Amino acid sequence: MILKVKKNHVVECLLCGRALVSQKTKSFTLRYIIGFLSFALPQQIEFYLHEDFGMAFLIGFLHALTAFGLVSLYLYANTKFILGRHPVFDYQKFIFLAALTLFVLLVAAFLEIFVSFSR
């Protein structure tokens, strides 16, 4: 799955193993706002209606996961690649950074919700 691809970024094809270089990319700067709103709005509405923190967090998380998939699909569909001879993409570093980013975002979202509801 492609999360963010810069112009002239190198990705290794999982099928043939050749290097692919991105030529046409879409700048999608609203992805951060969409990500936040897709979690915060459903979560706040659910908590307001039912006052169940666990269910509200789960609904917000599922909406955020859906938005993440749709944004990734949009970026993947609008990125054009050509064959290149650049160094191979480091998947271990990418997976580690993606996991770290997801962990930090989930902790930040949990703390934001915990602080906003601890009145």
pLDDT digits (tens, 9 = 90+) for 30-55: 777 887 888 888 888 888 888 888 88
pLDDT at 90: 67
pLDDT at 1: 39
Tell me the mean pLDDT in the region 20-32: 69
Tens digits of per-residue pLDDT, 72-111? 777 777 777 677 765 556 677 778 888 888 888 888 888 8
- For 104, the token pair is 């930090």
- pTM beyond cutoff 0.75: no
* H helices present in the chain, as ranges: 31-50, 53-77, 91-117
